[in-house]
Amino acid sequence: PFGSFKQVLNDGLQNGYAVGQFNINNLEFTQAIVEVANEEGSPVILGASEGAIKYMGLDYMVAIVRAAAEKSKVPVILHLDHGSSFDMVMKCIRNGFTSVMIDGSHHPFEENLAVTQKVVEASHAVGVHVEAELGRIGGVEDDLTVDAREAALVRVDEAEVFVKKTGVDAFAPAIGSAHGHYKGKPELAFDRLKDVRDVTGVPLVLHGGTGIPDEDILQAIRFGVSKINVNTENQSAFTDTIRAIFEKDKNVYDPRKYLGPAREAIKEAVRTKIRLFGSANRA
């Protein structure tokens, strides 16, 4: 069935594990992620970016996820990822999303606070939970100077005010992670993460989960992270599989012959993450 975002994350926070948000891009991603979550007995969050919603079509996406959730024995959460506006949030809620992220992090603090407050008030009125972001979580192509990196990190005083004033159910602080494949080893600001945990008390979200070393993932979970977002790694697993099949057999034409193995590749990538995050057998 569909599950409760808040309940799933709070259980993670209390029991020292994290739930994965795996982004969906098509039918095969959705099937793979929900199937492996069932095999592992793990709650699961399906991330829907605005780009993916545009690609799949909001109605098709919701219909596919609903079919998967109805069959699922573990709770499935359909979560808007990096929602850019109040209007987009409303559209998703109206179409059956269980939770939303409003990302006002590119706005000045007061504006981010205002749009997040508005989203929380409207969403909570209809039982939908909200994640929001503070600081800047960029792409790995940003080659940051020391000063720029510092400027992008969440401020602890702002985090405290933001979480108290908005009442968000989950909070994504920028601590140096980024979207995409890292060029070198990511440097996560663990001191900052710990301070944010101490002043906020809500489940924390780690974006840019692709390519973060296992020991850093476990450290982040110890410091209050109970949701970890992964997208690029599954996209790569999917595409690498298809590329290898095409290289081996130039005559393949039946899409099932390469989409099937690609779907299996996502399952194994997600299985590894579920076990690392500690969410197996928690559903």
* Residue ranges binding ligand G3H (CB under 6 A): 23, 47, 81-82, 179-180, 207-210, 229-233
Task: Tell me which of 79, 129, 207, 227 binds Zn ion, using CB under 5 A.
Answer: 207
Q: Is 256 left (phi over 0), alpha (psi -120 to 50) or beta?
A: alpha
Span interacting with Zn ion, options 20-28, 33-41, 195-203, 205-213, rule CB under 5 A: 205-213
Locate all alpha helices (DSSP H) within 25-57, ordered by sequence: 27-40, 50-56
CB 4 within 8 A of CB 75: yes
Of 207, 201, 122, nearest in space to 162 by CA = 201
Question: Is 232 within any annotated ligand binding site?
Answer: yes
Q: Is 81 a catalytic residue?
A: yes
Residue nearest to Zn ion as judged by C-beta position? 207
CB of 251 to ligand G3H, least distance (A): 33
Q: Is 201 left (phi over 0), alpha (psi -120 to 50) or beta?
A: left
> Residue 198 contacts by C-beta under 8 Å, 6 or more apart in sequence?
none
CB of 54 to ligand G3H, least distance (A): 16
Contact partner, 210, from ligand G3H, Zn ion, none, Cβ < 5-8 Å per class: ligand G3H
Q: Which residue has the tokens 């989950």?
A: 170
Write down the catalytic residue from 81, 142, 143, 254: 81
Contact partner, 42, from Zn ion, ligand G3H, none, Cβ < 5-8 Å per class: none
Q: Is 192 in the site for Zn ion (CB under 5 A)?
A: no
Question: Is 207 within any annotated ligand binding site?
Answer: yes
Span interacting with Zn ion, options 61-69, 99-107, 191-199, 227-235, rule CB under 5 A: 227-235
Size of the residue set binding Zn ion (CB under 5 A): 2
DSSP code, position 202: S
Between residues 112 and 231, which has the closer beta carbon with respect to ligand G3H? 231
Strand-pair category, 19-23 with 170-173: unpaired
Between residues 159 and 230, which has the closer beta carbon with respect to ligand G3H? 230
R_g of the chain, CA atoms, integer Å: 18
Catalytic residues: 81
